[in-house]
Structure 1
Amino acid sequence: MTIMQDSAAPSPSDDERRSLRRALRKRRRALTPSQRHEAALRLCRHLRQLPEVQRARRIALYLPNDGEIDPTPMLSWLRRRKVHIHLPVLRPLSRNALWFVHYHADTPMVVNRFGIPEPDTRHGAHRAHRRPAWALDLILVPLVGFDAAGQRIGMGGGFYDRTLAFTRQRRPRPRLIGLAHGCQRVEQLPVQSWDVPLDAIVTDWEVIRPRG
């Protein structure tokens, strides 16, 4: 997701980004349940072939909302490989940041203020139940839009950008892979300085690896 500026004056691209978000969210929500299911299966076939996914033993993914492409068909495959799976949780008493909480069949779940299921905050508050982002091997990030250069925009709240800002400088760091429907691709996206770059973008159509 993309951080909104603190300044009261919007940058020249703010209106463009908001317009793109509305259009692309409408586009993905227009997909039928059958189309979404088939897209999820194709996405997961691509993901299973990636070296980053095959090597990872600590992965964070998300539960889909608002028409997002669904990575959960990966769960059974990951569990067979003894991968530790984590979900994002809205971090309490913070400015748009996330925890990554271990997820299994017995994890107590709630619905957060955005209507997204997540591990209960009281459960996630125990350090034994969560892992810092830097200690994960791979994070699968939901996208609203992307282009062929690997630029992306999220929902606009800045949760992933704030949480993962350390990846620009710090090692170790997780690999970051953005996920989207192929229909969310646009010709070119406006980029902001706070957008955290991704290592790859995977859709039901293709795998994009940004240059550099």
Structure 2
Amino acid sequence: MESLHHPEAKRTLRLALRRQRLALSKHEQRQAALRLCQQLKRLPEIQRAKRISLYLPVNGEIDPTLLLPWLRQRNVDVYLPVLRPLSDNSLWFVNYHATTPMVKNRFGILEPDTRFGAHRHNRLPAWALDTLIVPLVGFDAEANRMGMGGGFYDRSLAFMRRQGPAPALIGVAHACQRVESLPVEPWDVPLTAVVSDESIVRAGKKKS
């Protein structure tokens, strides 16, 4: 079997995992999202967060936005990732409400509109957040994450490889996105945990 460190092997695995989650019906997606949010509510990293980042799901990604009413009830400030203009594939995080103006980015994904300086005062760097809920394509029993391959989160979170305060990173996925093992690259930023609709896997532990 070709090593997953090889770029072509990674591309093949990404494609297979994306197909698996896209094969889920709308009902299966909805039920998985409900179970995911029940799992997330159990986490101390979610319970104590005052500033938290979510994402809007695309291409079969599991939906964490069902958590929004619960977060609003707890007066948690919610942020969404925004592609930084003129940057090397990195992210800002912008405060999000139901009335926030949205625009599609270059990938066709909706994000808060920051053109012409709009909402500039509402954006934060990743280090200012308490917890980030991040999408992934694949994960394993050690909470290693396979992303889309663009490196957006790894670049935005590179500061976490140094000493200092850092947010909790919670990867989320469908259970069918779990694989036996993933390689760890030098630029990978480790997750605190990966939560699926069936399990909570913490870094360095098989399962909880």
Q: In the alignment, which of 134, 140, 164 is matched to residue 141 of structure 1? A: 134
SS of equivalent residue, structure 1 residue 196:
coil
Partner of 1:18: 11
Compute the displacement of 1:27 (Å): 0.5
Distance 1:186 1:39, change over 3 A: same
Q: Tell me the alpha carbon deviations over residues 43-94 of structure 1, each in whole angstroms, 9 at most, x when there is no partner.
A: 0000001111000000001000010000000000000100000000010000
Partner of 2:161: 168
Runs of 4+ displaced beyond 2 Å: 123-127
Q: In the alignment, which of 200, 208, 212 is matched to residue 201 of structure 2? A: 208
Residue pairs, 1:28-47, within 5 angstroms: 28-47=21-40
Q: What RMSD over aligned residues (CA atoms) do the two structures have, in Å?
A: 1.5
| Range 54-63 or range 12-21, more displaced | 12-21
In structure 1, the gaps of 5 or more residues are 1-10
Q: Tell me the alpha carbon deviations over residues 159-198 of structure 1, each in whole angstroms, 9 at most, x when there is no partner.
A: 0000001111142211000000000001111221111100
Question: TM-score, normalised on structure 2?
Answer: 0.93
Partner of 1:120: 113
Opposite residue 178 of structure 1, the aligned amino acid is G
Compute the displacement of 1:121 (Å): 2.5
SS of equivalent residue, structure 2 residue 124:
coil
SS of equivalent residue, structure 2 residue 157:
helix
Pick 1 or 2: higher relative contact order, CA cutoff 8 A, min separation 6: 1
User: Do the aligned residues in 2 keep the contact of 1:43 with 1:71 (CA within 8 Å)?
Assistant: yes
Opposite residue 42 of structure 1, the aligned amino acid is R
Question: TM-score, normalised on structure 1?
Answer: 0.91
Compute the displacement of 1:127 (Å): 3.5
SS of equivalent residue, structure 1 residue 27:
helix
Partner of 2:47: 54
Q: In the alignment, which of 182, 191, 203 is matched to residue 189 of structure 1? A: 182
> Using the alignment, how far apart are the partners of 1:135 and 1:94 within structure 2?
19
> Using the alignment, how far apart are the partners of 2:80 and 2:199 within structure 1?
24
> Using the alignment, how far apart are the partners of 1:134 and 1:151 within structure 2?
21
Distance 1:123 1:170, change over 3 A: farther
- 1:179 to 2:172 alignment: yes
Residue pairs, 1:56-135, within 5 angstroms: 56-122=49-115, 126-135=119-128
What's the % identity of the aligned pairs?
A: 63
